A and B are shown apart, each in its own frame.
Chain A
Amino acid sequence: MEAIAKDVSVAERRTGQPQIDARAARRARARLADRIVTYTLWSIALALTGLLIYFIFYIIQQGASLINWQFVTQSNEAGNLVGPEVFNTFYILILSLLICVPLGMGCAIYLVEYARQGAVTTVIRFATETLAGVPSIILGLFGFIFFASSINGGLGFGVSRLAGALTLVILNLPLLVRVSEDALRSVPDELREASAALGANKFQTVTRVLIPAAIPALTTGVILTAGKMIGETAALLYTTGGNSPVTGWFSLNPFLPGDTLAVHLYELRAEGIVANAQQIANSTATLLIILLLVFNLGLRYLAGLLNRWFAGGTSRTSRG
């Protein structure tokens, strides 16, 4: 009604005669505004896309020259190869995912399938949301005092890969709980009902029906989380340490210190301890961006393909 009322101009109210021209002009103006806004929105979206592409190409073009097989797999005394950092990045990533994914999934199963909605779920949701809001630098300090050091009741793992991985677990647990919840909710109720109708108890339904059915939808979330973990720096600098041993880094010992690519990049830019630190930093950034692209675009595409292949469309994305 308001839109029509506003179509009546001051002149119309004064004269009591419909001013056809004025109305038409107003409508034309509204259409013009609509078109201008549409173009503006398109150009904002285009500009941001352009900015992203520019960022990515800038980083890659700055650091691509140094990257070769030796650079990403070897280490040397001079510190201008990043083999240990690449290894540590994946080591810490896999270690923390191994802890984090079952924990997040278990919590989500409890929330979605078991818990009665009310005080308990509110507390858990509040905890995950609050934890998600804690800045990563604080979790870094916490990881240092709780996992790495043994003063004040810390666990005393030392500044090590394990301490870093556990800190990453705390940092990403809320996200994984959320992602797993979504994945479980995307499983149709019919599967639960069919399983119950076959005489399965709740535990059997969860382990044999719901978890397999949720895995396709979970994959996307886990890959996104992994992408976040790779780039994390503030939480890791004080928990995994700023450098790796020159020799003996290629081991699965979780108590070794070991910096990831992102931490290494910080060390190179901030401390610049090695010769041509700037150049190596640029190449490290390039590696990080390539990993990001691989995880966000490549692996997700692959995961989507596998989903369609195996599950025949239970994932969120193919729901339509």
Chain B
Amino acid sequence: MNLLQIFTEIVVPLVVITVGGLYLLGGPTWRQRIRQYLTMGYSRAELIRMIPFALCAVIVILALLVVVLFVGGNAFQTFTRDHVSLIAFFTGKVWYPDNGQVGALYLIVGTLTVTVLAVVISTPISVALAVFVTEVAPPWARQFMQPVLELFAGIPSIVYGLLGIELVVPLVSYAYNYLVGAFLYAGFGVIAAGLVLAIMILPTITSISIDALAALPQGLREASLALGATRWQTIRRTLLPASSSGIFTGVILGTGRAVGETLAVAFLVGSNPNNLPIQFTNTFPYFNLQPASTITVQIFEDFKEATPGSLNFDAIWTLSFVLLLISFLLVAASRYVASRGAYKATNQRPSGRRRSSETGVASSTAAAAAVTASALPASNS
């Protein structure tokens, strides 16, 4: 039974039966409540004119559902049709689908390594940049940094891949070989991929951190400065702690971008699914860097050759579903973290609208898709 069946045969009937049953059997009050809920208090004519807009909203929800159902629906055939055990899939070290072996452990390790590297490198720089933009930069510099961030976000990932091959890979190779004292390593691997990814997720983390810092009330800064604190003391002891939940949201969403990035990584990571990214040894320099692979890269590279119905094809969909689950978890985590912040980047107009208490989470998290128009709030100047 796949997700599509679960949805059409269990979820939909349950909802219909519950709502319909309440409507029919619940008496006039329930009927009223349901009607009130469905019509939201609008008149019939207004409701009819509302249909096109509501339809657009429905399409957005449907889009997500269809994506989940199609990926989820194809994901379990590795286990049901090809009889690979769940444990074998997640702990197996050999990825050789043509030979019947689909062990994804090293792919998962690769994804983790690349992501952690990218986030660890990128976070301090991004936060520093956000602090620079909101606290230190004069207005002209602030306005100058907005297009810089947007261009960083706008460079296509394939071009980042190209830049990585031509600039970063030789650098990594040179550094490692200089360390070892012999030419052993061509530079393709997690270090190069992590470095380039760090640049790619920088605009995401930075713009959300800027939103978080800009949302802090001016009184916090003034109070701290009035106590005699310097600007750096204010930033370190007041502003960064107060905006930590927003910054953390940015880091989580940056992580999501790093996990899902494909092309740049595919060019740089070496695409060998049967290698650990870093192997520790007993001789100097005690570690070997080697070409590895990640979940996204393996999906991307294998899908070219996989024929529908083969083990390779099914395994790709399982990997996709794993990736989808990871991205869900990250989005949910970011929503949770963002909801806990004391000062939320609401992105509201200063005068505020009638329903004003709603956008807190939405505004900062959706910004992960790109540096949106709101990257540097003009209201801060």
Give chain A's interface residues, CB within 8 Å of chain B: 1-4, 7, 30-31, 33-34, 37-38, 40-42, 44-45, 48-49, 51-52, 55-56, 58-59, 62, 102-107, 109-111, 113-117, 121, 123-139, 141-142, 144-146, 149, 151-152, 170, 172-175, 177-179, 181-182, 185-186, 188-189, 201-203, 206, 217, 220-221, 224-225, 227-228, 230-234, 237-238, 262, 265-266, 269, 281-282, 285, 288-289, 292-293, 295-297, 316-317, 319-320
Contacts and interface: CB of A to CB of B under 8 A. Distances in A.
Interface stretch (B9-17, B158-166, B214-222): B158-166
Given A141-B316, A152-B74, A224 B158 contact: no
B25 interface: no
B126 to A, nearest CB: 10
Nearest to B301: A270
Nearest to B63: A170
B328 interface: yes
Contacts of B57: 106-107, 110-111, 115, 124
Contacts of B353: 185, 189
B109 to A, nearest CB: 18
A133 B154 contact: no
Interface stretch (B80-88, B96-104, B128-136): B128-136
Interface stretch (B172-180, B181-189, B284-292, B366-374): B366-374
Contacts of A45: 129, 132-133, 137, 141, 145
Given A59-B163, A129-B365, A137-B296, A203 B351 contact: no
A185 B54 contact: no
Contact of A114 (B50, B67, B230): B50
Interface of B: 40-42, 45-46, 49-50, 52-57, 59-61, 63-64, 66-67, 70-71, 73-74, 125, 128-129, 131-133, 136-137, 141, 144-145, 147-148, 150-152, 154-159, 161-163, 165-167, 199, 202, 224, 227-233, 235, 237, 253, 256, 259-263, 267, 296, 299-300, 303, 308, 316-317, 320, 323-324, 327-328, 330-331, 335, 347-349, 351, 353-355, 357-359, 361-362, 365-374, 378-379, 381
Given A107-B56, A133-B330, A41 B131 contact: yes
8 contacts: A3-B233, A42-B132, A105-B56, A201-B46, A221-B373, A224-B154, A231-B156, A265-B159
Contact of B54 (A2, A114, A135, A202): A114
Contact of A127 (B55, B60, B361): B60
Contact of A59 (B148, B162, B366): B162
A179 B372 contact: yes
Contacts of A177: 60, 366
Contacts of B157: 231, 233-234
B60 A103 contact: yes
A137 to B, nearest CB: 4
Contact of A227 (B40, B154, B362): B154
A37 B231 CA distance: 9
Contacts of B335: 126, 129
A110 B125 contact: no
B228 A38 contact: no
Nearest to B156: A231
Contacts of A127: 60-61, 63-64
Contact of B56 (A106, A135, A296): A106
B59 A33 contact: no
Contacts of A34: 230-233
Nearest to A172: B369
Contacts of A293: 151
A297 B147 contact: yes
Given A34-B231, A52-B148, A111-B57, A139 B378 contact: no
Contacts of A37: 231-232, 235
Contacts of B299: 137-138, 141
Contacts of B308: 149, 151
B70 A233 contact: no
Given A179-B372, A285-B162, A296-B154, A234 B263 contact: yes
Given A3-B228, A228-B154, A186 B349 contact: yes
A116 B145 CA distance: 38
Complex A-B, nearest 7 residue pairs according to Cβ-Cβ distance, in ascending order: A231-B156, A135-B260, A106-B56, A34-B230, A203-B49, A110-B53, A41-B132
A4 B227 contact: yes
Given A52-B148, A116-B40, A145-B74, A130 B64 contact: yes
A134 B327 contact: yes
B18 to A, nearest CB: 14
A189 B327 CA distance: 37
Nearest to B354: A189
B61 A3 contact: no
B368 to A, nearest CB: 6
Given A34-B233, A135-B259, A178-B362, A110 B56 contact: yes
A282 B161 CA distance: 12
Nearest to A54: B167
Contact of B370 (A56, A202, A228): A228
A52 B151 contact: yes
A206 B56 CA distance: 15
Given A133-B330, A181-B362, 14 more contacts: A42-B136, A45-B129, A48-B148, A131-B64, A131-B67, A133-B253, A139-B67, A177-B366, A203-B46, A231-B157, A231-B159, A281-B162, A285-B158, A285-B162
Contact of A132 (B49, B303, B369): B369
Nearest to A202: B46
Contacts of A262: 156, 158
Contact of A55 (B61, B64, B163): B163
Contacts of B231: 34, 37-38
Contacts of B378: 316-317, 319-320
Contact of B152 (A30, A52, A149, A297): A52
A145 B131 CA distance: 44
A220 B374 CA distance: 10
Contacts of B358: 117, 121
A129 B63 contact: no
